[in-house]
Amino acid sequence: MRGFYLTRTEMGTLLQAIRNQEAPFQILEIALNRSGNSADIYEMSSELPPIFGKLLKIGKEAFGLSINEIVSLGNQLEYASFRSTAVQNWVKRDIKDWIGSPQLGKKYSIEQAAILFIVEDLKNTHDFESIRLLLRYAFNNPADRNDDLIDPLIFYTAYAQLFEAIHSELNPSKKDFTEKARQLTLIFEHLTLSQREDIEKLLISAALSVQGAYYQALSKHYLEEVWK
């Protein structure tokens, strides 16, 4: 649907709803209204990618996502461009040890989907060696979520909030990033001071990667305007 997209904060909220086994009605309605459509979400669901129809019917059971569904969902994000072949390469090679096998039959868990969204954002400014270092530090063993320094979905939502907080500023300073990131990490009471400081830096790095994707999209837009 033309004009329809999800912000990363909305995507984080949507993924949290799925994890809580709740249909994300409100988030989708907000996105529809922003695109200029005030119709009922059920009326418009046929014009959205099929994954949204599935999410609106979510029941009281663990909900997993296939690679194609993750890609379809990810391509509704602003400033993002997912390709199934690329994501397949990530899970089979580039981040195989840090994403793990599908944890819900043949489908990936919400936490695994969040990690793939994180990788998509980080690759704007980082090589895979650097990305693997972040994944290993923050999330550790993909088969055991209990050993995560921070929950992947919480990390994704936190840097989404950081990006959106500074995105409207024309020239955000290092101090702006640091103060906002520090506020976001205050809720992580289980972390040591040193760990919180490390997470602050990782949040800033990830948010700046999203900002890089924004500039790439803006540059492409102006180039395409010339050839219209």
- Is residue 22 a part of any domain in this protein? yes
- Is residue 25 a part of any domain in this protein? yes
Q: Total structural domains in the chain?
A: 1
- Is residue 183 a part of any domain in this protein? no
- Is residue 159 a part of any domain in this protein? no
Residues in CB range of 132: below 8 A, 6 or more apart? 94, 95, 97, 98
Give the predicted TM-score (pTM) of the model: 0.89
- Is residue 188 a part of any domain in this protein? no
- Is residue 213 a part of any domain in this protein? no
- The C-alpha atoms of residue 121 and residue 163 are separated, in whole angstroms, by 11
pLDDT tens digit string along 134-193?
999 999 877 777 788 999 999 999 999 999 988 877 566 778 888 889 998 988 888 999
Residue 96 structural domain: 8-110
pLDDT tens digit string along 30-71?
888 888 876 677 777 778 889 988 888 887 777 899 999 999
Query: Residue-wise over 193-215: b if at least 16 C-beta within 10 A, else e?
Result: eebbebbbebbbbbbbbbbbbee
